Structure 1
């Protein structure tokens, strides 16, 4: 009997898990063969699946993703260019500088001096326009985003189990329309796992605002402390469809705001960008996120470099 051809949903899962692998191994050397073997499919099969589903070859995505994350670090972190080279998975500074210059049309050093990034205005305008119809109204929103209101907290290393809500076309609109469903699903998971310390979070795998708006990958998921080994065993056996991402612990700024995630998105970025540019703090990574703590209430988490 001839085996059934995989469904479109199954093909998408291969592509999205491959995308998640690239994001989780940004700093690590790996090959496309490593990814296809990890997925349990052939190299050529994965090559064609990814290109068909995602609209670009896999290694082109890996290279673009690494360079865009590097650009985000140049924008908001306090790392020097050599450190950003290492964090982006490049073996030498010369290779990183050449790849970065070819991709962005200027050197990392020159890029760091740009006042407004090429995609910045459009991405923020698109996001603000789409979320305006769903956002809470109020003139005091900006007052919630003050450095004086932020708490300094230390988070443990965690594992994010997530699903990609959108990957291309109109990512913010997809996020807004689908989040309620995914939030309910993840809350049921937390109840079933009896995991009150777990966080339901949302964000992007990409570097805002470096990544082109149409290529943003928006996720929703739950963060589980890495030390909770028994929970990870349960997650691996019961929720194999979820993608995993390691999230570094350490120093974070936590900002509680009485808004929904839709309303909080743009002012959150404005707050991050303003504080970094004014030297109030520098980020230690691109992985800031929004935690959905209750109806009309979120917490913003921003990884930052503690000054010594």
Structure 2
């Protein structure tokens, strides 16, 4: 990047968000900050200082925190062994993972799995309930039953997304911005005439672990990885969108007749209860909502392979 280039605040923020996106999409990979700055076409020093300024923490601090919080979510809701969780989150050995995890959470991975309610969990749920409370929420909870779900196989996909929130009130920002993004993404899907494409929303973070004010919520288009011609056009015409790989496999698909905001708390309670009771275990933290309109969505929960 030329030293004489004058970048807008939005462009500078986008560099930081692209770094956050890269860290999430390579959570189990070995990489260096220079890999990210080279990808963005800026200097190591420029990216390092820019990320810290916009995100409020150094890049590598974020990478470590994100990996360990993701690991905590996997320990809570997946059926993976402690060693596999560490490997999925970028740690070369179980010993290295266990040491880093205990330093961060003050609990070993084994002891962490026994905690019934996490420190952030109650607070996060209370905040979200305050924002999204609607008449009939208890009734809606009746739709979140395992027996209503259907096991479906989804292909590997690429998600093109925008962040709905990166601030003090992620759920509030999500509600305020969703209609705008839904309409934009609907037009893109209609243009490509891609029946397998989905407009989805979710979070990069482990909801019961990450501080509410740091949760990153996205909305985007999920497109099968095999649709190469579509990906080329997305790269050319929508280069400003973030990218994330979502692994395929068997998912529990659960249709619910409600809007995304109302569905959030009963969805989490359903996942949490089902995992605690052994009804199912997840293969990863990448559950998401597929939006079908203002008052209808589908929940997709990735299931552990040995369960189907």
Distance 2:7 2:15 in 1: 11
* Contact 2:163-2:216 at 8 Å conserved across structures: yes
What pairs up with 1:26-41 in 2 under 5 angstroms? Answer: 26-41=27-42
Paired residue secondary structure (1:12) = helix
Distance 2:131 2:48 in 1: 34
2:252 pairs with 1:253? yes
Deviations 1:28-70 (A, max 9, x none): 0000111111111000000011001111000000000000000
Deviations 1:135-168 (A, max 9, x none): 4645421110001101010100000000011113
Shift in Å, 1:192: 1.4
* Contact 1:167-1:217 at 8 Å conserved across structures: yes
What pairs up with 1:39-78 in 2 under 5 angstroms? Answer: 39-78=40-79
Distance 2:95 2:41 in 1: 35
Indicate the residue corresponding to 2:122 in structure 1: 121
Most deviating of 57-66 and 139-148: 139-148
* Alignment CA distance shift 1:287-1:138 (3 Å): closer
* Alignment CA distance shift 1:237-1:136 (3 Å): farther
Indicate the residue corresponding to 2:185 in structure 1: 186
Unpaired segments ≥5 residues, structure 2: none
* Contact 1:69-1:206 at 8 Å conserved across structures: yes
Distance 1:291 1:136 in 2: 23
2:283 pairs with 1:279? no
Paired residue secondary structure (1:173) = helix
**How many residues end up aligned between the 2 structures?**
306
Indicate the residue corresponding to 1:23 in structure 2: 24
Deviations 1:266-306 (A, max 9, x none): 00000000000000000000000001012310000000114
Indicate the residue corresponding to 2:293 in structure 1: 294
Paired residue secondary structure (2:281) = coil
Paired residue secondary structure (1:140) = helix
* Contact 1:127-1:266 at 8 Å conserved across structures: yes
* Contact 1:70-1:88 at 8 Å conserved across structures: yes
* Contact 1:136-1:263 at 8 Å conserved across structures: no
Distance 1:139 1:208 in 2: 21
Paired residue secondary structure (2:119) = coil
* Contact 2:157-2:224 at 8 Å conserved across structures: yes
What pairs up with 1:1-308 in 2 under 5 angstroms? Answer: 3-132=4-133, 135=134, 137=136, 139-306=138-305, 307=307
Distance 1:287 1:136 in 2: 29
Distance 2:252 2:135 in 1: 24
* Contact 2:137-2:262 at 8 Å conserved across structures: no
* Alignment CA distance shift 1:273-1:229 (3 Å): same
